[in-house]
Structure 1
């Protein structure tokens, strides 16, 4: 991961040269030279670390270069901060650009950059002249061969009785063809134990011959594995031992042709491994089976795309305790209630991972004393980590297989508190702000982040918590807690980030680039900590502190000063001095995510020149003009208790801004008249804008968001759709050619119930041309306006919430909703719904929530061949009764469709 850190520094330097050239005017040549040198070293080090031998030597050099890279990055970043301050104070651009007129601080910062450059050049000379390259490039690779077994002693498997039965049934099924059955899951979930349990089932060995488990692993010896299987069907000869791998594969295939065999290929890591092994197994008609286990989902799908792999679940707390009890006490019971309570607490902290249970059970077996068990219960993860060969190294196999930038993305999950459900959009924006996705052009960053998340899910390192309705993509995710502990360990070793726990002191000096805490920030005020080189700060406080404006300047200074000095600072120091303390603590911050509740927007924060993402909470009513100082800001997230968030016009000066997300509607001011006259600030790059007041949907504002893909409008929607002189502000949405997702929300706080009804609705040609997803809420429209929505040519998802449409009858008209795949009706007084299958030819999902008055679901919807899922949530019993017609088991229904419906219908 250190190599990735160097690559990240290179990318940050590139970004600095591109977007902040005016702030490095005095040291531009030095920065450009440093960029070139570090880029060369980064390329060389990537190559070094890919060599299997002398890896430890390469890592030493990587960390040396990483550390000097950090020092270099901090020196340049501090220079930029000082230059930004000086520029803000300078009255003339000429004064700013005259290096000999810079303050002493700037000159000192420039000298620091030169010193770092000299140090880097020294390392560069040593690397390329002192035979380091020759030493690193000497390679002596040792092959780790696979293991072979035909039987096993009974294994302890708890909680997987249903899985064993299911797999045995599939293995002994009636199909004559060779079938491949796959089991996937993260390391340590018990895939090998499950496969062994299946092989030992009494119904397996009598019908399969040979019956064997092959431990493949990341590196394997095909010849040894083939010879092992051959030994089960014939006597091995010296001639066989001289055969090549391909010859042995052909011989094995010939000898298995007339047999009914069962081979378990355990722990397969790649498609290449599958291809190299499967050639030895004939596709005969003898009901033979191959069972595959893997950590990589795509490998299982590649082996058999017609049958989805079985994803092995985690154990629940009761199953963890039962497994722990058997490992520690065997058939005997737990000796005391106290020991049982302690054992259950320990089992719960194994987080459902059988491997963790197995490792911790050995520590408990050696000392069955309540005092020792209390010690273990207080820090289970510590004692699991004490057996690296048994647990952490097994988990590390998956981690080590990742590319450098994927390692960063994976480790980053540990920034969040345990058991966090993380929205994908938030994770994406954080990854981009951290620079993990800077390898591609700006418009590709989001797609690249999605690909990285898919890769981590495919490796069974990250768990999908929720999927998107529109395309099945990942909407929310989480990390298993034992893996999170592993990430914390790696992150600390790589000084990637540090999680601060209650009453914990940061080692001084602090080299960590990121700090995360789950306790409130004020728990650390009394600590004299140095955090001047921290780039990302997260506070997921359990308590929500309300912080008055007069104290916001002391948040970050608190990490630098003891508590007893805070009052003195507040009483004696001027606002300028307070601001300097703010810089002194967190002047290089790029990511700021704090759950502290602010009473207003913290103005001092706008002095953080490098800030790329900030998430703020509290009673924030105004985003001030000083927001324009955050020249590198990409994402602004505000969750406020105020009814409306007033956003100053200067926000349009932020040329890198891509996402503005708020929980309350924003009033955006138009750019100044001079800028409008000169057509300035007509910018691109803004991807998400949510939420806007209808009054802010003017032509001048929306033309500043030409690239926006997601737009949320919230407030009194009458102001948006009412026509004035033959046109309405809604017409301005047609100027957004890239808009795909639109939310129209009548806000209950701003719209009394009598004013929420929309009497009119825009015609089809007034909607954005490429709209795919539309959500309406609290609009109280008449059902006749659904005809307009049905004509939208690209509409695929329609969500109608909270009385979006009202009326007893909805009679669907012909010719509409040709591409609609998902329809959601939520909280409506609809009683009668008349529709036929041709009205929704592409419908795949129908979700009904709180449709308490609906008499029945149109039975003809059961004839829609594309329909896969029907969900009912708190809907009338009469509508539920008609479900049998929508998911029929009647005669005359094609079997394929009937099977899909039986699998798709869910009751809630």
Structure 2
């Protein structure tokens, strides 16, 4: 489809939206951009794309970025993607470019200043042929600030820059005319509407019967792809009767005014037709900054803490929340920016125009105030229930008597929370808060940075559901008081170091509601400890070398019968871990091992797990040159990642991975080829390779070609 300008992920996001889109009306645009990319000029070329919000600039850039012939024939050494947005941050632009180029950047970039990150980008790009996409550029000032860090290597490097503003497009390269995108004509609009309505199921007979009404509706959307796909989402949720469709057509016709007002009104029509239980879920997404990568795991926790979703007789609150999100995605009101390795949604976002709708409606309904400035009138906060801000220092100047939700995105500190006694939600991940926060009895959701090593008390937080703490300094271990295990409603406890775990006594009751525990340091799987967390579904544990002489009783892990996700990280010098012999529960669906350094033969323990769908092997999780799989292993596995390994030979049979969809091989310099039998896996859709391993990349391309020519599998992608 030809869709709207989807955000690429995170503020100044790091990665291109995954994969190409079956586009309507974009063929000529794609060919025009590819032609400009392939011009003979050796000098660095800037290729500006201009067009209205929602017209498909990001979709165009995405399809060019993932064009298979561009990847195979033009062979850029580096491809990277960054989204800038209106409220851009110089440091974040280069930070996220470095993340996007992570294969070439080995050092810890979190310790670099913004100037050092910019210089690191310049250094990484120097003498390499690169393709950079800069999406959603809003000002010539931003371009002037970053332009000098992209070197002219005289090797046909290219930058694609997408913007809504024609003057910005003309400014970045005045030597040639920028590429201006056009609205869809009536025929293309109808094609896109039909594609969206048939997505996931065939409705052609119904569409043929109501062709005239569909044509009228498509024409009324004014050729803007975003308006068309959102309207299709609305139509897909009403009954397929002529009367209902006529009603939608009539409502759209009523909003035809000036172009910008018309498009805003069409989007608003989809909001007013949302079921009541979805309206506030949708509006809540306006709390996040423009082009922000909203992690679903966090969004779900927030919705639950705000009482926007509730459990049912058959579903937990988390399951209900995910159904609500999927419903918003089906209606094309929410964009999926990243998928999980087993097909569910990992992160999502809003198109800028839909975010504008969120902000407007939230103000009208006194649901949420999003304030991203620094100068303000305190009166505007007087009756607010929820606020989202970018500067925590304004909290000292406002009346907090009505506020029960604060979401802040600044890097700062808060001196006092005395005025905010009604707080239920406090999300200040980048902000240090006073110890006074532990006295807020109504808190349900608490996220903050911490500068001390010990939390003195959590006894007042009897309503807390989610506690996420990240220390300001990575060397700090957060020590939780014993009473943390007595909090009756706690569902999620997350910190880089949950340390130490309690000295348990028989008087303590199990934490029945706890679903997430991460990252537990030197976690001892005693029977008593596991009885304390009987319903945990997600567990992250980490072991340090100086403790390897202890017996952590990892054979008891199998007692966690509801555990679905396990991440086990081992830190220390390069050696085999003889004392760590886990026995995994059969309930596991996702397993991540890092630094395990066990022989590849030990993976037979993992391969026998009957429900395992995702396996990630990082940082020499297995050590050795040969991996040979056996019959009956990995029968449900859909996603396999090997990241950093000395593997040289991998012997397997397609029947050992019968459901594999995605294979990702990163930093495996000694592995020269993918096993031939991988080509016979009918479900395979993606092979992703470290671009520096040319031999492995050629092996992946060979598998892709054979899948296409011999098995008519054109779904398979090769990415690097």
Secondary structure of the structure 2 residue equivalent to 1:650 = helix
Q: 1:802 aligns with which of 619, 626, 631?
A: 619
Q: What does residue 655 of structure 1 align with?
A: 488
Q: Closer, same or farther in 2 for the Cα pair 1:415/1:458, shift >3 Å?
A: same
Contact 1:670-1:701 within 8 A present in 2 as well:
no
Q: What does residue 904 of structure 1 align with?
A: 716
Once the 2 structures are TM-superposed, how far is the Cα of residue 698 of structure 1 from its aligned partner? 3.2
Once the 2 structures are TM-superposed, how far is the Cα of residue 397 of structure 1 from its aligned partner? 0.7
| Structure 1 residue 424 corresponds to structure 2 residue 260 | no
Q: Distance in 2 between matches of 1:468 and 1:302?
A: 29
Contact 2:701-2:718 within 8 A present in 1 as well:
no
| Structure 1 residue 710 corresponds to structure 2 residue 538 | yes
The C-alpha deviation readout for 1:816-857, integer Å capped at 9, x for no partner, is: 222222111111111121222222222221111111111211
The C-alpha deviation readout for 1:133-160, integer Å capped at 9, x for no partner, is: xxxxxxxxxxxxxxxxxxxxxxxxx994
Q: Distance in 1 between matches of 2:490 and 2:365?
A: 31
Contact 1:643-1:665 within 8 A present in 2 as well:
no
Q: What does residue 361 of structure 2 align with?
A: 490
Q: 2:643 aligns with which of 818, 826, 836?
A: 826
Contact 1:192-1:266 within 8 A present in 2 as well:
no
Counterparts in 2 of 1:471-870, with a 5 A limit?
Answer: 472-500=343-371, 501-507=373-379, 510-518=382-390, 520-523=391-394, 525=396, 527=397, 529-541=398-410, 544-545=411-412, 547=413, 554-556=415-417, 582=418, 585-598=419-432, 602-624=434-456, 626-640=457-471, 641-671=474-504, 673=505, 676=506, 678=507, 680-716=508-544, 724=551, 728-747=552-571, 751=572, 753-754=573-574, 757-759=576-578, 762=581, 766-870=583-687
The structure number with the bigger radius of gyration is 1
Once the 2 structures are TM-superposed, how far is the Cα of residue 620 of structure 1 from its aligned partner? 4.2
Q: What does residue 27 of structure 2 align with?
A: 162
Counterparts in 2 of 1:46-125, with a 5 A limit?
Answer: none
Q: 1:194 aligns with which of 160, 180, 184?
A: 184
Contact 1:741-1:773 within 8 A present in 2 as well:
yes
Once the 2 structures are TM-superposed, how far is the Cα of residue 602 of structure 1 from its aligned partner? 3.6
Q: 1:465 aligns with which of 317, 337, 347?
A: 337
Once the 2 structures are TM-superposed, how far is the Cα of residue 490 of structure 1 from its aligned partner? 1.1
Gaps of 5+ in 1: 1-157, 167-185, 200-212, 214-261, 283-290, 305-357, 363-383, 557-581
Q: Closer, same or farther in 2 for the Cα pair 1:884/1:537, shift >3 Å?
A: closer
Q: Distance in 1 between matches of 2:347 and 2:315?
A: 22
Higher helix content, 1 or 2? 1
Once the 2 structures are TM-superposed, how far is the Cα of residue 418 of structure 1 from its aligned partner? 1.2
Q: Distance in 1 between matches of 2:443 and 2:28?
A: 50
**Count of aligned pairs between the two proteins:** 521
The C-alpha deviation readout for 1:743-802, integer Å capped at 9, x for no partner, is: 00113xxx3x14x53135536xx2112111110011222212122222222222111011
Q: Distance in 2 between matches of 1:609 and 1:773?
A: 35
Q: Distance in 2 between matches of 1:707 and 1:733?
A: 13
Contact 1:597-1:619 within 8 A present in 2 as well:
no
Once the 2 structures are TM-superposed, how far is the Cα of residue 815 of structure 1 from its aligned partner? 3.1
Q: Distance in 2 between matches of 1:359 and 1:622?
A: 60
Q: Distance in 1 between matches of 2:238 and 2:360?
A: 33
Q: Distance in 2 between matches of 1:417 and 1:744?
A: 33
Secondary structure of the structure 2 residue equivalent to 1:715 = strand
Contact 1:778-1:802 within 8 A present in 2 as well:
yes
Once the 2 structures are TM-superposed, how far is the Cα of residue 494 of structure 1 from its aligned partner? 1.1
TM-score (normalised: structure 1)? 0.52
Contact 2:445-2:467 within 8 A present in 1 as well:
yes
Q: Closer, same or farther in 2 for the Cα pair 1:645/1:877, shift >3 Å?
A: same
Q: Distance in 1 between matches of 2:668 and 2:465?
A: 41
Secondary structure of the structure 2 residue equivalent to 1:622 = coil
The C-alpha deviation readout for 1:490-511, integer Å capped at 9, x for no partner, is: 1111111112321112326711
Q: Distance in 2 between matches of 1:841 and 1:479?
A: 36
Q: Closer, same or farther in 2 for the Cα pair 1:894/1:595, shift >3 Å?
A: closer
Secondary structure of the structure 2 residue equivalent to 1:627 = coil
Q: What does residue 206 of structure 1 align with?
A: none
Secondary structure of the structure 1 residue equivalent to 2:500 = strand
Q: Once superposed, what is the RMSD of the aligned Cα atoms?
A: 3.8
Secondary structure of the structure 2 residue equivalent to 1:629 = coil
Secondary structure of the structure 1 residue equivalent to 2:555 = helix
Contact 1:648-1:668 within 8 A present in 2 as well:
no
Q: Distance in 2 between matches of 1:832 and 1:860?
A: 13
Once the 2 structures are TM-superposed, how far is the Cα of residue 719 of structure 1 from its aligned partner? 5.1
Higher relative contact order, structure no. (Cα contacts within 8 Å, ≥ 6 residues apart): 2
Once the 2 structures are TM-superposed, how far is the Cα of residue 687 of structure 1 from its aligned partner? 1.0
Q: Distance in 1 between matches of 2:312 and 2:542?
A: 34
Contact 2:523-2:542 within 8 A present in 1 as well:
no
Q: Distance in 2 between matches of 1:742 and 1:263?
A: 42
Once the 2 structures are TM-superposed, how far is the Cα of residue 396 of structure 1 from its aligned partner? 0.5
Q: Distance in 1 between matches of 2:422 and 2:28?
A: 52
Q: What does residue 111 of structure 1 align with?
A: none
Q: What does residue 322 of structure 2 align with?
A: 450
Q: Distance in 2 between matches of 1:858 and 1:654?
A: 51
Contact 1:872-1:880 within 8 A present in 2 as well:
yes
Q: Distance in 1 between matches of 2:192 and 2:630?
A: 57
Q: Distance in 1 between matches of 2:204 and 2:358?
A: 29
TM-score (normalised: structure 2)? 0.65
Once the 2 structures are TM-superposed, how far is the Cα of residue 161 of structure 1 from its aligned partner? 4.1
Secondary structure of the structure 2 residue equivalent to 1:789 = helix
Q: Distance in 2 between matches of 1:198 and 1:455?
A: 26
Q: Distance in 1 between matches of 2:271 and 2:288?
A: 18
Q: Closer, same or farther in 2 for the Cα pair 1:605/1:785, shift >3 Å?
A: same
Gaps of 5+ in 2: 1-22, 32-51, 57-180, 213-222, 241-255
Once the 2 structures are TM-superposed, how far is the Cα of residue 656 of structure 1 from its aligned partner? 0.7
Q: Distance in 1 between matches of 2:354 and 2:450?
A: 33
Once the 2 structures are TM-superposed, how far is the Cα of residue 412 of structure 1 from its aligned partner? 0.7
Once the 2 structures are TM-superposed, how far is the Cα of residue 717 of structure 1 from its aligned partner? 7.2
Q: Which shows bigger deviation, 807-816 or 459-468?
A: 807-816
Contact 1:665-1:715 within 8 A present in 2 as well:
no
Q: Distance in 2 between matches of 1:524 and 1:511?
A: 14
Q: Closer, same or farther in 2 for the Cα pair 1:705/1:482, shift >3 Å?
A: same
Contact 1:269-1:299 within 8 A present in 2 as well:
no
The C-alpha deviation readout for 1:325-375, integer Å capped at 9, x for no partner, is: xxxxxxxxxxxxxxxxxxxxxxxxxxxxxxxxx999x8xxxxxxxxxxxxx
